[in-house]
Amino acid sequence: MNILIAPDSFKGSLSAAEAAEAIRQGIRVVMPESETVSLPLADGGEGTVEALVTATHGRFITTKVTGPLGDPVEARWGVLGDDITAVIEMAAASGLPLVPPEKRNPLITTTYGTGELICAALEAGCTKLIIGIGGSATNDGGAGMAQALGAELLDAAGKPMGRGGAALANLDRIHIAGMEERLERLEVKVASDVGNPLCGPEGAAAIYGPQKGATPEMVKELDSALAHYAEIIARDLKVDVKDLPGAGAAGGLGAGLIAFLKGKIQSGAALVLDTISFEEYLAAADLVITGEGKIDSQLEFGKTLAGVGALARRYHTPVVAIAGAVDVDPERLTEMGISVAIPCVNSPMEETESVERAAELVQEATERIMRLLFLGRELAGSGR
């Protein structure tokens, strides 16, 4: 039996690679003769760099850049096996985990370090960029990123605008003549499943500002600043980003990538599956075992498992999913191309215990799956 092992991460407990290894070990216990291929996945957020670099036999690079509060941070990114495609997670340079809870303030946090990572990709000779934009600590519309790439964002006195979301209110004009020339040849794909516009009640500040430390008063200030920013972009760059779906992703970084780099926003999960040529692996598989931390009603909204199921259905390949918790109608799973979903937590336990034992629980769940498959083959062979 040829088994494709393709899980997403079990957030908070296992990386996608660790989950894949636990599944592989479970298969070996029951059916050691099976052929397995491990292909850890991601949805454009955390783990995207690891998944894409590993699957394409690329290389990892660590670069010192400016963190969201201006302090230096070490950010890991990668170059894919084609040697021309860079993959970046903005959270590695400008992410919320880089800011202690007591210091979270989207009025001042910046995406400057994300721009520095893009510069590093250009220096490495890359002409294509995949950037995952989940998990940001910022609300500056990608202005910091643009500044790092050579754009001039000036106030009424002709001085460079300060960093952070609040500074956008002082923006008077944008000059891009000094931006890095190699950007003209850079193809930018933005991995995001967020459809929020830049401004308004569903915009970047209103929906995501509070989790980054914004008070209600700060949300109003940030939203007004982003609206002003959109007006200047429309006037000086001739790009209307204010109401574009996805422009509000990552505190407006989506808008910045569209306006300054002509970025194209795509479903993160679909982009990952396409980049690693998932269908080629799928065509050779008799069974797919996938998984993630929780399977619920969010499954159909751009999640990795939904993408795996949709592609597997084309090849009539059965898919078994493992999760810490399963809370979705079995018929809905079938409609989405997933044959069955198995919870790996098999007895009452505290969440802390399930997290600590995650690898063991995933392996045991895999063993149960394989024993059921073995039983099915036995029954089929007996003619009963």
Tell me the mean pLDDT in the region 168-189: 96
pLDDT digits (tens, 9 = 90+) for 337-379: 999 999 998 888 888 888 899 999 999 999 999 999 888 877 7
Task: Measure CA of the first residue to CA of the last residue in the chain; give whole Å.
Answer: 22
Laid out side by side, the sheet with 128-132 consists of 59-66, 72-79, 85-89, 128-132, 187-191, 264-266
For the chain, domains (ranges, CATH) are: 2-41+277-382 (3.40.50.10350), 48-268 (3.90.1510.10)
Answer whether residue 384 shows pLDDT above 60.
no
Mean pLDDT rounded to a whole number for the chain: 94
Contacts of 298 (CB under 8 A, 6+ apart): none
pLDDT digits (tens, 9 = 90+) for 75-98: 999 999 999 999 999 999 999 999
pLDDT digits (tens, 9 = 90+) for 123-152: 999 999 999 998 999 999 999 999 999 999
Spatial CA neighbour of 48 closest among 23, 69, 21, 17 = 17
The vertex-303 CA angle with 299 and 308, nearest 5°, equals 95
Token pair in block for residue 250: 């990552």
Q: How many CA atoms lie within 13 A of 339 on its CB side?
A: 13
Pairing of strands 35-38, 152-154: unpaired
The vertex-279 CA angle with 274 and 281, nearest 5°, equals 115
Q: CA Rg, the chain, in Å?
A: 22
Token pair in block for residue 168: 């956008």
Amino acid 330: pLDDT: 86
3-state secondary structure of 289: strand
Predicted structure pTM score: 0.89
Other CB atoms closer than 10 Å to residue 383's CB: what's the count?
Answer: 5
pLDDT digits (tens, 9 = 90+) for 204-246: 999 999 999 999 999 999 999 999 999 999 999 999 999 999 9
pLDDT digits (tens, 9 = 90+) for 270-322: 999 999 999 999 999 999 999 998 888 666 555 789 999 999 999 999 999 99
Amino acid 302: pLDDT: 53
